[in-house]
Chains A and B, each alone.
Chain A
Amino acid sequence: MGILRPAGEYDTSYAADMATIRQPWQWGLLAVFLLALYTLPLYASQSTVSLVNRIGITIIAVQGLNLLTGYTGQISLGQAAFMTTGGYISALLVNNQGWPFLAALPVAALGAGVIGLIFGLPSLRVKGFYLAMATLAAQFIIPWFTRNAFPEVLNGAQGLNVNAPTILGMEFNNPQRYLYLTLSILIITTIVAYNVSRSRLGRAFVAIRDHDLAAELLGVNPFKYKLMAFFLAAVFAGVAGTLSAHNIRHLNSETFNLIDSVMYLGMLVIGGLGSNLGPIFGAVVVEILIELATIFGPFFIELFPSTAAGAVQALRPLFFGTTLMLFLIFEPRGLAHRWQLLKAAWRLRPFSH
């Protein structure tokens, strides 16, 4: 049981060849990796821990979008709006009704899911670009609703201050503590997404993506499964929105906006559409790029003193846009595909053929 397998030892089935965890030592590696993440607050700075929190939450939102766009092939620009929905539901339940966080979270997720289902209805009629426009409606209607409806509860454009979650008497009121919450929920969502993609449900999703008419002729009910995909995507968004709202402790109609929705799609492309590793790669890479843009900002000003601070702001979309474009040209299947190739190359090393 070495890192490399002896020559002449092959996978004897497709399942073994495609397995995520191929060898026992990989379980060990995964455990060490998770342990490293969980103990991060012991040795990393607060800003690093905050970044990891943010990445974790983003991964959850992108995982949902991956089920919808990556697996089912339905493009959506509404993911951030469903995060807003989840965030508001949870904030109201926890703040106003005094619900425990762990009870509010699933309710917020389901609430976002139902709203997602409603905005998924156009998918029964329209495809591609037109569906993107239809889901864009969510991105306008939901924030408008939070700004204008029930001002005494939703507090209009001001938004809400959100309490830190309390679980079993422990208050998750700083990034270090919050990390445990984010990571634990991220592990759950990863397992759920992974299992959906490998089940009968996932097969129906992929059949619709690859050829919706052929799928229907084979007995896949396209309406049912498209709506399920929208529901699941919005449930993930609801979880992400809830986690994010209780993390930054404030929520208004602009907290999750159209730019976020577009970013999530971009992350998915960079990470790899229709792959379970895609959301993780995509969110990590893009969030770190954005972080780098923030770090490089001051140097940039020193180099070009004539540029205003606004130019630094421009660095983020510039980094993001350039990366996305390079990926679309050179690796449209995303980092997840690269990773597969890399692993295969490592396994076959040093004889690559």
Chain B
Amino acid sequence: MSILLSVQGVTKSFGGLQALSKVTFDLPEGQILGLIGPNGAGKTTLFNVVNGVYPPDEGRVIFRDQDVTDAKTYQHAKMGMARTHQIVQPLNELTVRENVEVGACFGRENQNLRHAAEIAEEVLEFLGLHNRIDQLAGSLNVAQKKRLEMARALAARPYLLLLDEVLAGLNPSEIANMVETVRKICEQGITIIMIEHVMHAVMNVSDRIIVLDYGEQIAEGTPAEIAVNEKVIEAYLGDPKLAQRLMEQDNK
């Protein structure tokens, strides 16, 4: 399996705050990588660096064998990197369909508006937003807005999808639905990195997990390895029995 994304020694600080220090990992094509850690650990900053929103102070980001460290955000999008936001950012004055069309128009395939409309319908059908297609994006509820963000990202036909807390603020049944959706997206051959706090979900769906704490990469491994890692339990999971329970929950 070839390496889709390679993050090499990425360091980023904001003034005196060390947000990321020497984060390094390779992400093979077709995998789901979970990114966990306490609040303020640097997860979203890592997304922003991978995505070109901030340039890193040190280190490189290699995407599909190209160095994209200094590329602009919109260039990342054109190359096939799509993302959703922790705080949803729909284009409020456009309808759901029009929002998703923007993704298709300006994403990897640079579709024209007519073809983008077809893609939008297809993606919205897939994400179950089809009945809201002509509603203004601003009028959706949070769960729907999260799905809209995913739809917009998927309409770009990305190779890599960055999901920033898509489960936050959802109720249990919505979470179950969303996890299922993430799986299906992965089955379509799209590689995914997801930042998540809902542990049973991330343990369940990820192929590998990276744990960040104060910008340090304290652990990396399969969900089973992470759940018993002492450093992770100390920094994030807390109770060792909790970790055990999480793993058991997965197997149900």
Q: What residues of chain A have their CB less than 8 Å away from a CB belonging to chain B?
A: 14, 17, 199-200, 203-204, 206-207, 209-211, 213-222, 274
Contact = CB atoms under 8 A, between A and B. Distances in A.
A220 B106 contact: yes
A17 B135 CA distance: 13
Interface stretch (B3-11, B13-21, B87-95, B222-230): B87-95
A219 B91 contact: no
A206 B103 contact: no
Interface in B54-106: 72-74, 77-78, 82-83, 85, 89-95, 97-98, 101-103, 105-106
B74 A222 contact: yes
Contacts of A210: 91-94
A216 B74 CA distance: 5
Contacts of A209: 93
B163 to A, nearest CB: 13
Nearest to B106: A219
A216 B89 CA distance: 12
Nearest to B89: A214
Contact of A206 (B53, B77, B93): B93
Interface string B97-119: 11001110111100011001000
B107 A219 contact: yes
Contacts, number: 81
Contact of A219 (B53, B98, B133, B156): B156
Contact of B156 (A211, A218, A222): A218
Nearest to B73: A216
Nearest to A198: B113
Contacts of A213: 53, 89
B31 interface: no
B134 interface: yes
B152 interface: yes
B105 A203 contact: yes
Interface in B19-51: 51
Contacts of A199: 113
Given A203-B98, A210-B91, A210-B94, A217 B77 contact: yes
Interface in B141-185: 152-153, 156
Contact of A218 (B72, B92, B95, B102): B102
Shortest 7 CB-CB contacts between residues of A and residues of B: A219-B77, A219-B106, A210-B91, A14-B134, A214-B89, A216-B73, A221-B74
Nearest to B153: A218
12 contacts: A199-B113, A200-B113, A203-B98, A203-B105, A210-B93, A211-B89, A215-B91, A217-B51, A217-B83, A218-B82, A219-B156, A220-B102
A203 B114 CA distance: 12
A286 B209 CA distance: 62
A32 B153 CA distance: 47
B106 A206 contact: no
A17 B134 CA distance: 10
How would you classify the secondary structure of chain A's contact residues: helix, strand, loop or mixed? Answer: helix
A203 B74 contact: no
A40 B95 CA distance: 41
Contacts of A215: 91, 102, 106
A135 B64 CA distance: 41
A221 B102 CA distance: 12
Contacts of A206: 91, 93-94, 98
Contacts of B102: 203-204, 207, 215, 218, 220
B1 to A, nearest CB: 27
A199 to B, nearest CB: 6
A218 B106 contact: yes
B91 A14 contact: no
Nearest to A221: B74
A221 B152 CA distance: 16
Contacts of B152: 218
Contact of A203 (B77, B113, B156): B113
A61 to B, nearest CB: 24
B75 to A, nearest CB: 8
Given A199-B113, A203-B102, A210-B91, 9 more contacts: A204-B105, A206-B94, A210-B92, A211-B89, A213-B89, A216-B72, A218-B152, A219-B78, A219-B106
A219 B98 CA distance: 15
Nearest to B103: A218
Contacts of B98: 203, 206
Contact of A200 (B82, B112, B156): B112
A170 B171 CA distance: 73
B67 to A, nearest CB: 19
A14 B133 contact: yes
A146 to B, nearest CB: 38
A14 B134 CA distance: 6
Contacts of A203: 98, 101-102, 105, 113
Nearest to A14: B134
B162 to A, nearest CB: 9
A213 B113 CA distance: 21
